[in-house]
Structure 1
Amino acid sequence: MNIRNDPAVNSFLQRMPKKIQETFTDEQLTHLKLAIGARHWGKHAIDSRGVVKFFKYRYYFVLLAGRNRRELSEQEQKIAALSQVITTSIFCLFVITVLLLVIYLIKSSLGIDIFSNYSFGVWSWFKGLFK
């Protein structure tokens, strides 16, 4: 098979002027195809791939996650910083909420009332979980 008939190589060649296309030898095109097609993305911390059948159609999914080793543009750096602030804020809010809940449950188990004759109902709900 002629390497120039390969769809990947043909697509590559179509994006350049005709006189440049003709300067490539078959050997050069073969090595270019190998170099372009053999991208090595490395190992990912999370690499999940699968297929889901939905009625008569099949859909594939790929979930990749890992450390970003690319150089980020200025806008990407701003988005990454904002995402990090939002993620950290949500995590801190979650931890603080859980700590307040634990402190409230400890206070209630010791019978300490902050407001007399008033309850948030959390202690009653918590005790009801274990009945």
Structure 2
Amino acid sequence: MYTTHAHVTTWVIAIILFVIAFALYKSGNTKGSKIVHMILRLFYILVIITGGILFFKFQSTFGPALYGMKLLGGLLVIGMMEMILTRIKKGKGTGLFWLLFIIFFVAVLYLGFVKLRMGLHPFG
């Protein structure tokens, strides 16, 4: 259960850092955006580590296919976050990546909170 809380905490902080980095890139604050982006990359690693611990701890008990899908979806969410920030930094379009980010993020939240409820019960 504590690993679940650590995982949720790290990805919530990662989302907050992502929004801050995005806003800094959009405002033209190059130095601040680079710093926040590097801290965000550290949190990507923490999210992957805590998610990996959960995967290996629970996947054999509650359904390996769903946990595998959640693991893949989580990696795709991180990939889309990185693509969005990198393309914003380069001045390129991000519309498709935002769409994919939202789809993957909603799918991972659904799998994590609704289908694979491991100690967290936000919806009842």
Bigger Rg over Cα: 1
Q: TM-score scaled by structure 1?
A: 0.29
Which structure has greater strand proportion? 1
